[in-house]
Structure 1
Amino acid sequence: MFKIVRIFSLFTFSFILFGCYSFTGSSLSPETKTVQINEFRNNAAQVNPTLAQQFSIDIQNRFLQRTTLKGTKENPDILIEGEITDYSITPTTISTSVNAPGGNIQAAQNKLTITVKVHYENNVPNEKDKSFDRSYTDEVVFSSALDITAIEASQVRLVNERIINKIFNDIVANW
C-alpha cells in the first residue's frame, strides 16, 4: 500500500511541476508577434560570394521555425539586420616537409573566422530596452588538406550555425 501511495505522490508532484513550469525559456513577451529580418550585407575584406545570402536565409529560418513569430515587412515587433564584417582563413599550425629541398614550410591547419554585426530592435512597448547592437564572432580550425569547396560546404555552415545560435539565444532565450 505504501508503494502505491508513494507512486501516486510522485505522479502528482510531477504533474504539478510540469503544469506550472514552462520549458520554453523565451524572454519574448506575449505581445511580440512579428519579426522582420533584413538581408545581411557582406562587408568583409575577403568575400565569400554566397555567405551573406546563406546567412540571411539561415537566420530567417531559425526564427520562423523555432518561434511563433510571423515574418513581416511592415511595422515589425522585432527587427533584425546587420552585416558580415569579417571572413578570413588564416594558418594556425605550420608544418615542414623534410623531404623537400630547403624544408618546404606549409600550413597544416587553418582557421576560418566569421564576424557578424547585428542590430536588434524590439519595438514592443516596454520592451525597447532589450534592443542592442552587438558583434558575434566564431571560428573553426580545420585541416589545410580541405579544398575551398569543402570549406564552404561544411566549415562555413558550422560557423554560421554557431553564430546564429548565439544571436537566437540572446534575443529569444531567457538563460
Structure 2
Amino acid sequence: MIYKILKTIIALSLLLSITSCGFGYSLSGVSIPDNIKTYQVDFFQNQAAYVEPGIERTFTLELQDLILNQSSLDLVNKNGDYIYQGEITRFYIAPMTATASNTASQNRVTIEVNLRFTNTKDDEASFEKRYSFFYDYPATTQLQGAALDTALEVIFDQITQDIFADTLAQW
C-alpha cells in the first residue's frame, strides 16, 4: 500500500515539474515561450538568377503549413509575435556524375533560401540565416511536372524543417 502511494507521489511530482516551467512543451520538441501566440510568414520573393515560376508561393505555403501543423501558434497576416521573412536566393542545376562518354548521368538541383526571423518579444533571439538543400535526379529526366514537384517537395521539406528546428525547437 505504501509502495503504491509513494509511486503515485513520484509520478505526480515528475508531471508537475515538466508542466510548471515557463515554456510550452510537447513531445515534438517544440519550445515556445508562453508569451508567444502568433506567427506570420511574409511572401518569400524569388530573387534567384534562374527563376522557376511558382516556387516562391510553394515555399511560403509549406513554411506556413509546417508551423501551423506542428505548433500551437496561430497564423496571422500582420503583427505576429514571430515573423518569418526572406527570399529564395538560388535555384541552380548542375551535373553531378558522368558516364564513360563524358555525359552527365545525374543532375543536382539546389535551392537556397535566406531567412530573416524576428522574435518581437525578444530581439536577441532574432537572426538572419541562409538555408540550402538539394535533390539529385537522372540526367535523362527533364526537371518539370512531376519530377520538379518531387524535387521541390524534398528540398522544401528539408529547408522548412531546418527553419522550424532553429526557430521553434530550441533545445
Residue equivalent to 1:133: 128
1:78 maps to 2:75: no
1:161 and 2:165 matched: no
**Residue 63 of structure 1, CA deviation:** 1.2
Per-residue displacement from partner, 1:126-169 (whole Å, max 9, x unpaired)?
A: x2110001100111222223222233111121011100000010
Change beyond 3 A, Cα 1:5–1:146: farther
Q: Give the equivalent residue in structure 1 for 2:166.
A: 170
The separation in 2 between residues aligned to 1:141 and 1:12, in whole angstroms, is: 54
3-state secondary structure, aligned to 2:99: strand
One-letter code aligned to 2:70 = R
Matched, 1:143 2:138: yes
Q: TM-score, normalised by structure 2?
A: 0.83
% identical equivalent positions = 26
How many residue pairs get matched? 163
Aligned equivalents of 2:141 and 2:82: distance in 1?
A: 39
Q: Does 1:51 align with 2:46?
A: no
Structure showing greater radius of gyration is 1
Question: Of 58, 67, 72, which aligns to 2:71?
Answer: 67
Distance 2:153 2:29 in 1: 26
For the aligned residues, what is the CA RMSD? 2.4
Partner of 1:99: none
State the shift of 1:14 in Å. 5.8
Equivalent-residue separation in structure 2 for 1:10 and 1:71 (angstroms)? 42
Aligned to 1:106: 103
Q: Distance in 1 between matches of 2:158 and 2:16?
A: 32
Structure 1 residues 174, 10: CA separation in 2 closer, same or farther (over 3 Å shift)? Answer: farther
TM, length-normalised to structure 1: 0.81
SS in 1 for 2:58: helix
Instruction: Extract unaligned runs of 5+ from structure 1.
Output: 97-103
Unaligned stretches of 5+ residues in structure 2: 19-25
